[in-house]
Amino acid sequence: MRSPRNIEAELDAFLAQGRKKRRWLRWFLLTCALGCVLVLGGAAVAGYLFYQKLAADLPQVSELENYQPSLVTKVYDRYGELIADFFIEKRILVPLSDIPEHVRQATIAAEDRRFYSHSGVDTWGILRAAWVNLQAGGTREGASTITQQVARTLFLNRERTMSRKVREAILALRIEQHYSKDQVLEMYLNQIFYGHNAYGIEAAAQLYFGKSVKDLSLGEAALIAGLPPSPNSYSPLKNYKRSVQRRDHVLSRMVEAGYLTPEQAQAAQFDPLAVTPPPPRVHKASYFVEYVRQYLEEQYGPTALYRGGFVVETTLDMRLQQFAEQTMKQGLAQIDKRHGIYQGPLRRVELSGDAATDAPRIAAITMAEAGDQTIREGERLTGVIQAVRDSGATIAIKNTRGVLPPSGHNWVHQINPDLSAEIRRQLFQRGDVIKVRVTRVDPTGKMHTLALDQDPVVQGALVSIDVGSGHVLAMVGGYDFTKSQFNRAAQALRQPGSSFKPLLYAAALEEGLTPVSMLLDAPLTEDIAGAKGWR
């Protein structure tokens, strides 16, 4: 049996051990707390220094007060007909007031549903996107707000780095401190890329639907609003089915955001989408347009020319210009035919003789520049010789055929129409790719009559000037601008020759000379005071 003294000693020892453990626990907790404070403090300092480093060289968002996006420079003739445009980004600036509400709502629903409630960076959106992507096992949803996209497109690049994302977030917060939500949305809708070189909502509306943004239907607006994440993949010009699926997704997002009822969204899904093919680039009066382009670039610089959105009104009369180009081509072709030298085929293709095998190859050649399948009298076409006979050569043109009779190439001096077909075969062979002109259209469409044609070697130039004002009404610098950009009307340094005689004779008549006046045809020397004598 233990004595009371032993029990008391054991109790004191136990209490002492407890106090020692508590002291150790206090020191441990204190050390942990201090470590956490140091770590958090260090992280805060490091974060602050990182922020300062990234923020130090960021551009000033106040620069957006003078927001001037890259615009299209347009060139017009004297009557307002568009003859050319110059641009790096095809953009048509439009104020937010001219953009319908359903277009704005479609954009917000597709890109940033909480646009009007966040301050530039959507924290909840980041968490939601992270959760969705985690569940999907990959990137299915982004978290960049409309403001962040404005910051990225106007100030940064598209590199995928953490520092760029942080800089983007900083700029987005600063932008929203300086500008209203509507101002940010207007910048976005005018700046963002919608595919096929269309920048901004107005250019996109005109490209895909051939109409202004103010005339877009709900379905059309939803389709365009869904393009920015991947304009190439969702383009209705490249993948119509996928673009419709994307449109339907945007409509469902509009329902979730409360912009539409399910019935309105369903009605928009059945609304037909009349997607228009992209209009061809304007290529009119090429030599004159290039002359104007060089002048503008010399006077204002390339940046102003291609980004400034100039409206250039010229003195050109497009009606006279077309007549001048036609006359020049006809005149040069006549000179070339008077020379009578056949330049030979453009190239030669090997034909197997099997119609099923040869047809696709021939069609690829004859339809490449055809435009449509209609045959017109006087039309100039590329053809492929299929057979050479005494009666003439059979030529494949567009989706049909024609015959090139001996009379259709009698301008060629190497060919004597009275000679045998064997001599003719030395110039025309099966598989030759040649230029022909339609001289008679067969009403049945089976066998049209053709004449041999070719691009002339000889060149020419023409300028039509209003002598009263000095205005250039028409300018042609050569036979074909696509083959030679040298402007013989403005760049060629040629001796005037006899073209100067009317001016000389007019001055002589003005001085009282007559056609029978006698002049001494001998060397003349004139002494000029203070200058070198003229001889």
Q: What is the rounded CA–CA span in Å between residue 409 and residue 211?
A: 48
Token pair in block for residue 265: 């969204």
Helix axes 181-191, 146-155, angle to 10 degrees: 60
For residues 489 and 477, the answer to whether their CB atoms sit within 8 Å is: yes
Amino acid at residue number 312: V
CA angle 220, 223, 226 (to 5 degrees): 150
Token pair in block for residue 165: 């994302």
Sign of the alpha-carbon dihedral angle for 142, 145, 146, 150: negative
* Beta strand 347-348 pairing with 432-440: antiparallel
CA of 213: how far to CAs of 33, 101, 121, 202, 234, in Å? 60, 11, 28, 5, 19
Number of Cα atoms under 13 Å in the Cβ half of residue 276: 13
121: DSSP letter: S
The reply to whether 111 belongs to the active site is yes
The reply to whether 325 belongs to the active site is no
For residues 87 and 138, the answer to whether their CB atoms sit within 8 Å is: no
Report helix, strand or coil for 290. helix
Cα 248 to chain centroid, rounded: 28
| Phi, psi angle pair for 243, to nearest 5° | -65, -35
Token pair in block for residue 162: 């953490």
Name the H helices within 281-353: 286-300, 302-307, 318-339
| DSSP per residue, 380-428 | EEEEEEEEEETTEEEEEETTEEEEE-GGGGTT-TT--TTS-HHHHHTT-
CB atoms within 10 A of CB 341: 15
Question: Which of 111, 186, 220, 325 is flagged as catalytic?
Answer: 111
Q: What is the rounded CA–CA span in Å between residue 530 and residue 535?
A: 15
Question: Which of 3, 498, 510, 511 is flagged as catalytic?
Answer: 498
Cα 411 to chain centroid, rounded: 44
Taking the alpha carbons at both ends of the chain, their separation in whole angstroms is: 151
Token pair in block for residue 164: 């760029």
For residues 535 and 529, the answer to whether their CB atoms sit within 8 Å is: no
Report helix, strand or coil for 460. coil
For residues 130 and 228, the answer to whether their CB atoms sit within 8 Å is: no
State the catalytic residues.
111, 498
